[in-house]
Amino acid sequence: MRSRMKQGSARGGRALSRRRILAAAAAVMIVKPSAVYSAAATARVRLGVVGCGGRGQWIADLFRKHGGYEITAVADYFARTAQRAGEALGVAENRRFSGLAGYKRLLDSGVDAVALETPPCFFPEHAQAAVAAGCHVYMAKPVACDVPGALSVRRWGQAASQKKLCFLVDFQIPTDPLWQEAVKRVRDGALGRIAMISSYYTDESFPDPPRGETIEGRLHSLIWCNDNDIGGGYFVNAGIHAIQAALWVAGGATPVAAVGMSRRGRRDPHGDSDDVFSISYEFADGLILNHRGEHIQNMHGFSAGLHAWGQGAYMEGNYEGRTWLRGGPKGFAGGEVRGLYGAGAQRNIAEFHRCISEGVFDNRTVADGVDSTLACILGRDAAAARSRLTWDEMIKANRRIEVDLRGLAQ
């Protein structure tokens, strides 16, 4: 999920803020093994949506418009949000659940699949419960806020395959045809040996009000992006789009170490997430990945993408904008990527239904989602400490970030 897009951004001038759309407790869809259909693309999957704030209700509507899903239950921490979404989606009143345990009641209500769009700190627990209940899982990113959570999602993704369940992590960039063609040519040697990748992600920040007696006030409107424990922080939550794309271009390799610097540039911060980043990654083959990012109110707006530098050619890719490969015998004129936020989600929703209907359980997006989340955690922690941190050190430390849930409604 990317952060807010302002008026006049590359998105056709629409005043649509991605972070706002992503705001509020996100959506979780639920699909059970009973929904593994052998044939019909017309079979309707009973879907539960957990997290019904801005993005949750938006993506639930995309599921409904697909035609292959029937939304039969909703859950959100806030009762008023669950009621509002249930009414809009035509869900019966007795199937609108709230509180921290709302997702459990949703899973018990007879759904086939779940869509997870809550703050990321809840994803590992929700994924485990969904797979254990025999539900297919559609999950936003990042898959977790810490190393133990990310590794847990990897295990439950593997368990889903063993149980013949679908598990899809929703990244939009890999669904785009221009990106697919450019990366295919890179894999075919269009850049020769890649020497360096430069990635970037900039956007405005979200409100960061003073903390209350509980974290309840930080569970909506993407306020949780300001908190490393609830949302992973700005880099893990938003910069992951650019990092996922960079790892894809790099052939799926993960970095061996990261070093960098970060700081808080927003006014009067109350969350512990930094919002300005300069991070360098090193890879086993010598590849260098440099990333820069910022999330402060400065009218710059949204931009995300990368440049990959090779011998005699380079690739440029953007979430919104020019994506092409210039130079060499395998150059690609490419074109302008537009509307990827919505188009990518629609393609992933269609792919999720296809995998359920046709019994495709390889769940390839899980490893990508986990690796890119871990790479961002590596960069976040190295930059915060202003020191070099290796992948092996990070995995061995297995540092857990506890979320204080005291005082919240069950």
Which two tokens mark 125?
């627990």
Q: Could you tell me where in the chain the CATH 3.30.360.10 domains are found?
A: 173-355+362-397
Residue of 230, 232, 193, 233 whose CA lies nearest to 215: 230
Q: Three-state SS for 52?
A: coil
CA-to-CA distance for 157 and 314, rounded, in angstroms?
35
Listed in sequence order, the DSSP H helices in 73-122 are 79-89, 102-107
Query: What percent of the chain is predicted at pLDDT more than 90?
Result: 89
CA atoms within 13 A on the CB side of 48: 33
CB atoms within 10 A of CB 91: 23
CA-to-CA distance for 384 and 73, rounded, in angstroms?
40
The CATH T-level fold of domain 173-355+362-397 is: Dihydrodipicolinate Reductase; domain 2 (3.30.360)
How far, CA to CA in Å, does 17 sit from each of 23, 85, 228, 343? 9, 20, 21, 15
Q: Please tell me the CATH code under which domain 18-169 is placed.
A: 3.40.50.720
Residue of 116, 55, 372 whose CA lies nearest to 239: 372
Q: Which residues make beta-bridge pairs with 203? A: 295
Q: Could you tell me where in the chain the CATH 3.40.50.720 domains are found?
A: 18-169
What pLDDT is attached to residue 223?
97
- Indicate the pTM of the whole model: 0.90
What pLDDT is attached to residue 303?
97
Give the rounded distance of the alpha carbon of 280 from its chain centre. 21
The answer for residues whose C-beta is within 8 angstroms of residue 125's C-beta and 6 or more apart is none
> Where are the strands (E) in 191-256, listed by range?
196-203
What pLDDT is attached to residue 11?
31
Q: What is the residue whose two structure tokens read 């035609």? A: 67
Q: What is the residue whose two structure tokens read 């997006």? A: 365
pLDDT tens digits along 16-63: 344 333 333 333 333 333 333 333 445 799 999 999 999 999 999 999
Residue of 232, 105, 120 whose CA lies nearest to 170: 120
CA atoms within 13 A on the CB side of 191: 25
Give the rounded distance of the alpha carbon of 24 from its chain centre. 15
Give the rounded distance of the alpha carbon of 396 from its chain centre. 24
Rounded to 5 degrees, what angle do the CA atoms 285, 158, 152 make? Answer: 80
What pLDDT is attached to residue 4?
37
In the DSSP assignment, the letter for residue 283 is -
User: What per-residue string of b and e applies to 178-191 under the rule 16 or more CB within 10 Å gives b?
Assistant: bbebbbebbeeebb
* Rg for the chain, CA atoms, rounded: 20
What residue ranges of the chain have pLDDT lower than 70? 1-42
Give the rounded distance of the alpha carbon of 198 from its chain centre. 20
Task: For the chain, give the number of residues.
Answer: 410
Single-letter code of the amino acid located at 242: A
